Amino acid sequence: EPEVTQTPSHQVTQMGQEVILRCVPISNHLYFYWYRQILGQKVEFLVSFYNNEISEKSEIFDDQFSVERPDGSNFTLKIRSTKLEDSAMYFCASSELDTLSHEQFFGPGTRLTVL
Amino acid sequence: DAKTTQPTSMDCAEGRAANLPCNHSTISGNEYVYWYRQIHSQGPQYIIHGLKNNETNEMASLIITEDRKSSTLILPHATLRDTAVYYCIVRVGGSQGNLIFGKGTKLSVKP
């Protein structure tokens, strides 16, 4: 069964450093998302991406964040200068372009720890 | 998107049916009810969705009241692997667009 994959599974970085989290969405999906979950808190939407541009973003997704689809398979989230409060699980998700489709498929997540 | 209310936690005996309620009294006519679950910090997993009619798939059943102000997710024979946080989400239909997760219901299935 096709699945969303994410790398790395765990990333440790120093405050102020740049990190890039990588995702490979399901191959025929055209909508891509990033969500995050701070330990013990709710899953929060960050950004959605369609047709090579951001379609929606939350107030969390400030100028420190960017997304890119550098090739036909990867979808990345970059945090330019990490802060302690960026420590969280980051989930990538993808979905089809299909009016009958209702499901978003989530990856296993990347645990980001900022020291 | 309409707001939902779910109990914080529930217990269920293994092999018994788990019935998870959700209130969504402000749901609009074009909003669907979705259920996702999250098993111990894994990525959320879609379970089922519905608009008006009751729905059933290989994972669960969804019962929506006639006035659509509440719904119940039913896991017919809960197993220990069903221990998870279950999220009821109300939104306009389709797979695109962000999901707004609440705190959900922590279901503990006990032997």
B94 interaction partners in chain A (CB closer than 8 Å): 99, 101-102
Contact (Cβ atoms closer than 8 angstroms) between residue B48 and residue B27: no
Of A4, A42, A95, the CB nearest to B102: A42
Q: Which tokens is A102 given?
A: 């209702």
Q: Could you tell me the CA-to-CA distances from A82 to A17, A18, A76 in Å, in that order?
A: 6, 6, 15
pLDDT at B36 over 90: yes
Cross-chain residue pair B98–A48, CB shorter than 8 Å:
yes
Q: Is A56 on the interface with B (CB under 8 A)?
A: yes
Which of the residue ranges A33-42, A105-114, B96-105 would you say has the lowest mean pLDDT? B96-105
Q: Give the count of beta carbons closer than 10 Å to the beta carbon of residue A39.
A: 9
Q: Give the pLDDT score at B109.
A: 98
Confidence band for B2, pLDDT divided at 50, 70 and 90: low
Write out pLDDT tens, residues A26-56: 998 999 999 999 999 999 999 999 999 999 9
pLDDT at A99 over 80: no
Q: Give the pLDDT score at A97.
A: 82
Q: Give the pLDDT score at A72.
A: 79
Cross-chain residue pair B98–A106, CB shorter than 8 Å:
no
Collapsing DSSP to helix, strand or coil, B81 comes out as helix
Q: Could you tell me the CA-to-CA distances from A115 to A17, A46, A91, B42, B67 in Å, in that order?
A: 10, 22, 20, 23, 50
For chain B, the average pLDDT equals 94
Cross-chain residue pair B101–A44, CB shorter than 8 Å:
yes
Q: Give the pLDDT score at A20.
A: 97
Q: Is B55 on the interface with A (CB under 8 A)?
A: no
Confidence band for B85, pLDDT divided at 50, 70 and 90: very high
Confidence band for B96, pLDDT divided at 50, 70 and 90: confident
Which residues touch A80 (CB under 8 Å, ≥6 apart)?
A18, A63, A64, A65, A66
Cross-chain residue pair B43–A103, CB shorter than 8 Å:
no
Length of chain A: 115
Which residues touch A71 (CB under 8 Å, ≥6 apart)?
none
pLDDT at B1 over 80: no
Q: Is B95 on the interface with A (CB under 8 A)?
A: yes
Write out pLDDT tens, residues A64-93: 999 999 887 899 999 999 999 999 999 999
Question: Exposed, middle or buried: residue B77 (CB in 10 Å: 0-12, 13-18, 19+)?
Answer: exposed
Contact (Cβ atoms closer than 8 angstroms) between residue A108 and residue A7: no
Cα torsion for B48, B49, B52, B55, to the nearest 10°? -20
